[in-house]
C-alpha cells in the first residue's frame, strides 16, 4: 500500500496488506471454500487469516476461532457468515483494525421487512466500527495487480489476465458481473479490477468507481447500472473521468419504452425517463451501450488500441465483398472511408494486383499471400500511415489453419508498432481459426465476429462528429434576467401561463380568461376579428382530445361555444377554470419548446421540436441540458428533420430562426431558475413567422412539482 493511500479506506480495500476470511469453509464443494483457494492460486501478496472455530487449519494456514484471536491487524474482512451474524462480524472487524469488509450473504433488504432491518443494523454496525461495507448480497472484489481475489464467483476459476493500463468493472448485479468477468477472461481482456456492489447498503457503485479512477493501473471503467441514482454524484464521476482522460463505458438496464414516465404533456410522453442521464453522459463522453457483448467489445478496443483521433476508417480486407459490407456499415454509423492519397496508393500498387482495390477499402486479394515476409502487415501499416486515416479495420475471410495463424502473427506485430488502432473481424468458423484467434487473444487484440459488430464498436469509441457551424452569428440573446418565479408559477393554472410568458419576454396572442357566455361574447368582440376559444384547466394538456378547442369563432357565436366547451369539460371530468379567448395568429411553422424539471440530482432538460397536435406522431425533437447558450439552441434546431421548414424549403420564405433561438434560451433559463419547484413548462405550438417577424406562444402548459 502506498503512503498516500493511508487516508482512503477504499484504497486499502483494493490493496490490503492482510485479509481475514470469516466463515471460510474446508469443504471443497462449498462456495465459501473458493475465496481461500482463489487468493492462493492468484498469488495474493498479503497475509491471509482464515477464521472459523470448526477448523484448526485451512489451506495450509492456521485457522482462528474469531477475529479477536487473529495475531495481527487486518485491513480487509471477507464476511462469509449468514445474514443474522453479519452485523456482529462487522463490529469485530472494526476491533481488528479493518477499514473495509465484504458481505457475501443474501437475506437482507432484497427479501422484505425482516431483511431490511438486518441491513439497517449492518450499516449502523459499520458506521459504529469505522468499517466501510461492500454488499451485502454481492460477489466481492478482484484486484489483479496484487492477486486479490476476494470473491466466490466461479468465474475466478480462470487464470486472471492482468494488463497494465487495463480496465476496471463495477456492477450492481452479481450474476451479470460474473458473466462479464468470465467473458472478459475468455477474450483476453485484461482487467485491473472487478467489483460487485450488491445491495449497496453502504458503498455505492459510483463511490467505488470514483476510487478506481484514482488507480494508476486503471485506464478505463466498465459500469453496469440497474438504478441511476443521484444525478449529482453521477455527474461528478463522469466529469472526473473526463478530466483524467479515463473513458467510462456504461450499460444500464431498464432503458426501454416501458420505462417512460406517464406524463400529461406532449414532452413527457416523448422523452424517456432517463433523458437527463443520457444527456449528462453525452456531455462528459460516457459511452452508453445496449448489451453485454457491446460493453465487452468497446472495452476490448479501449484496452488494446490507442485513442482514436477521428471518424475516418481505412479498411484492409481479403475479400471485396467484405469491403463493400464495411462501406455500408460505416456509412450507417457516420464513419467515413476517405480515398487514400496518391502517395499511399503508389506504395500499395506494387503489392496488390490490378484486379484488387487500392482506394479504400483495400482488397489485397489472395495473390498477396504468395509474397514473403509480412506483406499483409505492411499493407496495414501503409494504410495507417495515410494522414486521412484515423483507424484501420482488418477484415479476414477464409484464411484459416496455419496460414491464418501466420497472418495473425503479422497483424499483431504491425499493430504493436502503430500509433493508430487496428480492429480485426474474422469471418470464419472458430474451429478453423482457433490457433490464429489465440495469437490475437494473447496479444490483447480483440477479434470481432462480424463487420457490423466491429463497426458498431468503432463508432462508439470514436469522437462525436463535429457540430455543424451556424451560418453566421447565432442569435443575440441578452442576459436573461428573470423575476422571482414563485407567484408566476402559482398563478399559471389560472391564467394559462400568460403572465409567465410576459415576464420572460416571449410574445403571446391577446387573450382573456372568461367564466360565462356574456364575457365570452364581449372578449371576442374586443378582438375585432374571429377568435380561438379553449378550455382552461391547469392539468389539461391535450385540449383537443376532449373537444376543448374551437377556432375562428365570431362574437355572435361566442356564448354558445362557451357553453359547448364547458359541457365538454363536465362530460370528460375536467375541472375547468373557464375558457381562454385568444386572437387568431397567422399560420406559420409550429414548434414545441419545453422543459422537464431538475430532479434526482440531474439538471433540467430543454426540448425543441416539430410541434402542434401531431408532435407525438413525428417525435422530431432535440434535447439539451438547461440552460443552453444560443449556439447550442441553434444546433438543436439544425438537427431536426423539420429544419428545412425553418430554413426555407423549396423557395419558401425562411422563418425567424433567431427568434426561436431566443425563446429556447429563455425557456431553458426558466427551468434552471425554478429548480425542483417546476415539473414541466411547455409551449405548443410556438408559431414561427417569417424572418424578422418573431414567434408567438399560442398554448402553454405549466405543471408544478407535487
Residue 282 CA to residue 241 CA, distance in Å, equals 13
Q: Strands 132-134 and 100-103, how do they pair? A: parallel
Q: Which residues contact 165 (CB under 8 A, 6 or more apart)?
A: 217, 219
- Among 462, 1, 461, 13, which Cα is nearest to 210's? 13
Superfamily for 153-304? Succinyl-CoA synthetase domains (3.40.50.261)
Residue 379 CA to residue 357 CA, distance in Å, equals 12
Question: What per-residue confidence (pLDDT) applies to 600?
Answer: 82
Q: Which residues contact 16 (CB under 8 A, 6 or more apart)?
A: 1, 46, 75, 76, 100, 148
Listed by start position, the domains of the chain span 1-137, 153-304, 308-461, 510-583, 589-704
Residue 166 CA to residue 455 CA, distance in Å, equals 22
Q: Work out the number of other CB atoms within 10 angstroms of the CB of residue 480.
A: 17
Q: What three-state secondary structure class fits 383?
A: helix
Residue 597 CA to residue 670 CA, distance in Å, equals 10
Superfamily for 308-461? Succinyl-CoA synthetase domains (3.40.50.261)
Superfamily for 510-583? ATP-grasp fold, A domain (3.30.1490.20)
Q: Which three cell numbers stand for residue 624?
A: 439539451
Q: Which run of H or E residues covers position 151?
A: strand 148-151
All residue ranges of the chain with pLDDT < 70 are 1-7, 160-165, 254-273, 466-480, 493-496, 538-539, 541
Q: Which residues contact 487 (CB under 8 A, 6 or more apart)?
A: none
Cell 509474397, located at residue: 371
What fold characterizes domain 589-704?
D-amino Acid Aminotransferase; Chain A, domain 1 (3.30.470)
Residue 621 CA to residue 596 CA, distance in Å, equals 14
Question: What per-residue confidence (pLDDT) applies to 190?
Answer: 74
Q: Which run of H or E residues covers position 703?
A: strand 700-704
Equal fold, 153-304 vs 589-704: no
- Among 233, 231, 49, 201, which Cα is nearest to 136's? 201
Residue 255 CA to residue 276 CA, distance in Å, equals 12
DSSP string across 133-147: EE-SS--EEEEGGGT
Question: What per-residue confidence (pLDDT) applies to 400?
Answer: 86
Q: Give the Å distances, CA to CA, from 590 to 302, 504, 586, 617, 685.
A: 44, 20, 11, 14, 5
Backbone angles phi, psi at 177, to 5 degrees: -60, -40
pLDDT (tens digit per residue) in 321-346: 888 999 999 999 999 999 999 999 99
pLDDT (tens digit per residue) in 349-371: 988 887 878 888 998 877 777 77
Question: What per-residue confidence (pLDDT) applies to 31?
Answer: 86
Say what the pTM is.
0.83
Cell 372578449, located at residue: 523
Q: In what order do the strands lie in the sheet with 76-79?
A: 47-51, 18-22, 76-79, 100-103, 132-134
Q: Which three cell numbers stand for residue 258?
A: 416501458
Q: What three-state secondary structure class fits 148?
A: strand
What fold characterizes domain 1-137?
Rossmann fold (3.40.50)
Cell 502517395, located at residue: 343
Amino acid at each position: 500500500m502506498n503512503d498516500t493511500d493511508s487516508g482512503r479506506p477504499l484504497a486499502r480495500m483494493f490493496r490490503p496488506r492482510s485479509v481475514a476470511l470469516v466463515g471460510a469453509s474446508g469443504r471443497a464443494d462449498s462456495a465459501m471454500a473458493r475465496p481461500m483457494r482463489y487468493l492462493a492460486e492468484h498469488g495474493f501478496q498479503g497475509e491471509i487469516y482464515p477464521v472459523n472455530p470448526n477448523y484448526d487449519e485451512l489451506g495450509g494456514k492456521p485457522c482462528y476461532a474469531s477475529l479477536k484471536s487473529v495475531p495481527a491487524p487486518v485491513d480487509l474482512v471477507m464476511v462469509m457468515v449468514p445474514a443474522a451474524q453479519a452485523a456482529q462480524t462487522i463490529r469485530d472487524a472494526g476491533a481488528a483494525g479493518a477499514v473495509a469488509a465484504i458481505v457475501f450473504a443474501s437475506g437482507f433488504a432484497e427479501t422484505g421487512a425482516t431483511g431490511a432491518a438486518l441491513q439497517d443494523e449492518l450499516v449502523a454496525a459499520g458506521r459504529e466500527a469505522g468499517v466501510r461495507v461492500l454488499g451485502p448480497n454481492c460477489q466481492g472484489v478482484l484486484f489483479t495487480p496484487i492477486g486479490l481475489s476476494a470473491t466466490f464467483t466461479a468465474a475466478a476459476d480462470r487464470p486472471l489476465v492482468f494488463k497494465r493500463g487495463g480496465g476496471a468493472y463495477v456492477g450492481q448485479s452479481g450474476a451479470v458481473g460474473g458473466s462479464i468477468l468470465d467473458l472478459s477472461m475468455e477474450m483476453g481482456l485484461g482487467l485491473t479490477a472487478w467489483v460487485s456492489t450488491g445491495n449497496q447498503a453502504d458503498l455505492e457503485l459510483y463511490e467505488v468507481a470514483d476510487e478506481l479512477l484514482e488507480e494508476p493501473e486503471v485506464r478505463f471503467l466498465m459500469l453496469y447500472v440497474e438504478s441511476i441514482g443521484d444525478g449529482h454524484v453521477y455527474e461528478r464521476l463522469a466529469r472526473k473521468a473526463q478530466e483524467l482522460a479515463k473513458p467510462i463505458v456504461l450499460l444500464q438496464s431498464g432503458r426501454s419504452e416501458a420505462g417512460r414516465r406517464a406524463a400529461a404533456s406532449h414532452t413527457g410522453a416523448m422523452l424517456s425517463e432517463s433523458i437527463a442521464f443520457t444527456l449528462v453522459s453525452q456531455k462528459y463522453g460516457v459511452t452508453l451501450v445496449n448489451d453485454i457483448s457491446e460493453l465487452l467489445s468497446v472495452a476490448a478496443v479501449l484496452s488494446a488500441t490507442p485513442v482514436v483521433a477521428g471518424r475516418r476508417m481505412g479498411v484492409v480486407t481479403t475479400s471485396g465483398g467484405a469491403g463493400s459490407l464495411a462501406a455500408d456499415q460505416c456509412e450507417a454509423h457516420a464513419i467515413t472511408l476517405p480515398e487514400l492519397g496518391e502517395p499511399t496508393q503508389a506504395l500499395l500498387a506494387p503489392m496488390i494486383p490490378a484486379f484488387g482495390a487500392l482506394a479504400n477499402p483495400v482488397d489485397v486479394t489472395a495473390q498477396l499471400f504468395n509474397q514473403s515476409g509480412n506483406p499483409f502487415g505492411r499493407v496495414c501499416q501503409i494504410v495507417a500511415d495515410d494522414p486521412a486515416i484515423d483507424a484501420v479495420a482488418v477484415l479476414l475471410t477464409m484464411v484459416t489453419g496455419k496460414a491464418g495463424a501466420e497472418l495473425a502473427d503479422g497483424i499483431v506485430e504491425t499493430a504493436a508498432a502503430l500509433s493508430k488502432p487496428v480492429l480485426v473481424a474474422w469471418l470464419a468458423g472458430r474451429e478453423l481459426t482457433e490457433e490464429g484467434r489465440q495469437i490475437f487473444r494473447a496479444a490483447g487484440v480483440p477479434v470481432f465476429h462480424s463487420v457490423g459488430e466491429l463497426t458498431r464498436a468503432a463508432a462508439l469509441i470514436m469522437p462525436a462528429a463535429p457540430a455543424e457551424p451556424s451560418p453566421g452569428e447565432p442569435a443575440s440573446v441578452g442576459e436573461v434576467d428573470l423575476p422571482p418565479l414563485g407567484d408566476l408559477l402559482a398563478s399559471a393554472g389560472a391564467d394559462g401561463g400568460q403572465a409567465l410568458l410576459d415576464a420572460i419576454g416571449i410574445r403571446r396572442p391577446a387573450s382573456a380568461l372568461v367564466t360565462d357566455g356574456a364575457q365570452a361574447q364581449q372578449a371576442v368582440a374586443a378582438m375585432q376579428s374571429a377568435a380561438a376559444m379553449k378550455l382552461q384547466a391547469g392539468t389539461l394538456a391535450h385540449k383537443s382530445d376532449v373537444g376543448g378547442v374551437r377556432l375562428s369563432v365570431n362574437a355572435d357565436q361566442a356564448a354558445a361555444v362557451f357553453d359547448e366547451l364547458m359541457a365538454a369539460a363536465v362530460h370528460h371530468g375536467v375541472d375547468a377554470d373557464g375558457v381562454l379567448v385568444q386572437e387568431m395568429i397567422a399560420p406559420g411553422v409550429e414548434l414545441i419548446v419545453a422543459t422537464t424539471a431538475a430532479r434526482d440530482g440531474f439538471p433540467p432538460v430543454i426540448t425543441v421540436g416539430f410541434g402542434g397536435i401531431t408532435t407525438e406522431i413525428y417525435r422530431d425533437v432535440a434535447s439539451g441540458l438547461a440552460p443552453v447558450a444560443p449556439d447550442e439552441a441553434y444546433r438543436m434546431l439544425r438537427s431536426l428533420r423539420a429544419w428545412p421548414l425553418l430554413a426555407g424549403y423549396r423557395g419558401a420564405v425562411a422563418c425567424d430562426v433567431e427568434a426561436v433561438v431566443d425563446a429556447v434560451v429563455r425557456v431553458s433559463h426558466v427551468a434552471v431558475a425554478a429548480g425542483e419547484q417546476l415539473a414541466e413548462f411547455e409551449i405548443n405550438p410556438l408559431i414561427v413567422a417569417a424572418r424578422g417577424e418573431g414567434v408567438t406562444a399560442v398554448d402553454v402548459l405549466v405543471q408544478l412539482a407535487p
